[in-house]
């Protein structure tokens, strides 16, 4: 029994619970606020912070965060609309730096809205210019282009093309290209948008565009024919549609109208 109590006390004293968590909701479109609040509830789930609260974007974070959060790591989520990395810079300057300078907090920001890191390199340079003390840090994660934020779970696309600016690094951080390349994007709201990624082999920064193209993807398919009928297997499918690819692979969509309705299985159903 004593062992169980000891392990329990150690578990609840782990750094996992040493963070304070705030989720901000946009307030510009009143009819959408309930959806933002739902998104914040989703964001806060599983954070296991010592302090958790959902707040309106205009609330003063300095007033919201209790004194117990001083000298700790603060995680700040945001659900709503955004516009650019320029707005992210202004937010950091006016709302976040007082927490870092006056209350000695380290801050991790997870902005789930559109285009919060539209120019990640410039945002990285801005954060480095703030000269945040070595023992503290500021990390800002956002989407480079239009996104669906937390609603990605309800869509078939790979649309949250994120990037990170961090005071602990000299360079911005981009996702591996394999995470997005040849993955479906949204023709409705991401068409012709571009985002940066890091080449898996060389580490070079590349740009991928959401455009109409020929690409391959994997899916589960039911095996036809007499051999193992009905068994589901992974197959590679060749199709056309909107996906994240190098600009050189973009095709004029009007020339391929209707072509992508029939997928061609190019690899799979091996004995």
Domains of the chain, residue spans: 16-173, 174-271
Q: Counting runs of H as helices and runs of E as strands, what totals does the chain give?
A: 6, 10
Q: Categorize the per-residue pLDDT at 218 as very low, low, confident or very high, splitting at 50, 70 and 90.
A: confident
Q: Which residue, chain included where needed, has tokens 């990395």?
A: 85
**CB contact set of 67 (below 8 Å; sequence gap of 6+):** none
Specify the pLDDT at position 148. 75
**Residue 17 pLDDT class (50, 70, 90 cuts):** low
pLDDT at 229: 59
Residue 69 has pLDDT above 80, yes or no: yes
Mean pLDDT of the chain: 85
Kindly report the CA angle at 176 between 182 and 200, in degrees rounded to 5? 90
9-13, 170-174, 186-190: least confidently modelled range: 9-13
pLDDT reported for residue 253:
75
Residue 148: how many other CB atoms lie within 10 Å: 18
- For 187, list phi and psi in degrees, rounded to 5: -65, -25
Q: Which are the contacts of 212, defined by CB distance < 8 A and separation ≥ 6?
A: 187, 240, 241, 242, 250, 251, 252, 253, 256
Better-scored residue on pLDDT, 51 or 219: 51
Residue 266 pLDDT exceeds 80:
no
Q: What is the pLDDT of residues 73-95, one digit of tens each?
A: 999 999 999 999 999 999 999 99
Do 210 and 193 form a contact (C-beta atoms < 8 A)? Answer: yes
Burial class (CB in 10 A: 0-12, 13-18, 19+), 208: buried
Contact (Cβ atoms closer than 8 angstroms) between residue 235 and residue 265: yes
- Burial (CB count <10 Å: 0-12, 13-18, 19+), residue 1: exposed
* Segment 116-120 mean pLDDT: 98
pLDDT at 269: 42
Q: Per-residue pLDDT for 235 more than 80? A: no
Beta pairing class for 20-25 and 73-79: parallel
């Amino acid at each position: 029994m004593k062992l169980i109590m000891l392990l329990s006390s150690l578990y609840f004293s782990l750094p996992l619970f040493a963070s304070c968590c705030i989720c901000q909701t946009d307030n510009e479109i009143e009819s959408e606020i309930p959806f933002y609040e739902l998104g914040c509830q989703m964001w806060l789930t599983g954070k296991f912070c010592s302090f958790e609260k959902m707040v309106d974007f205009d609330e003063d974070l300095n007033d919201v965060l209790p004194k117990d959060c001083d000298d700790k790591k603060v995680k700040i989520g945001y659900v709503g609309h955004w516009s650019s990395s320029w707005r992210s810079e202004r937010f950091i300057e006016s709302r976040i730096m007082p927490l870092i300078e006056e209350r000695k907090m380290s801050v991790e920001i997870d902005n789930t809205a559109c285009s919060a890191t539209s120019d990640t390199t410039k945002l990285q340079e801005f954060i480095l210019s703030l000269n945040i003390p070595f023992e503290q840090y500021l990390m800002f994660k956002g989407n480079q282009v239009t996104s669906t934020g937390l609603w990605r779970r309800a869509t078939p696309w790979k649309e949250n093309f994120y990037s990170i600016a961090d005071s602990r690094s000299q360079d911005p951080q981009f996702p591996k290209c394999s995470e997005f390349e040849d993955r479906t994007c949204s023709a409705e709201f991401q068409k012709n948008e571009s985002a940066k990624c890091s080449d898996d082999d060389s580490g070079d920064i590349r740009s991928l565009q959401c455009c109409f193209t020929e690409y391959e993807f994997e899916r589960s398919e039911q095996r036809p024919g007499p051999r193992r009928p009905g068994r589901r297997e992974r197959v590679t499918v060749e199709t056309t549609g909107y996906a994240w690819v190098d600009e050189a692979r973009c095709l004029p969509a009007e020339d391929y109208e209707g072509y992508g309705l029939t997928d061609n299985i190019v690899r799979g159903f091996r004995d």
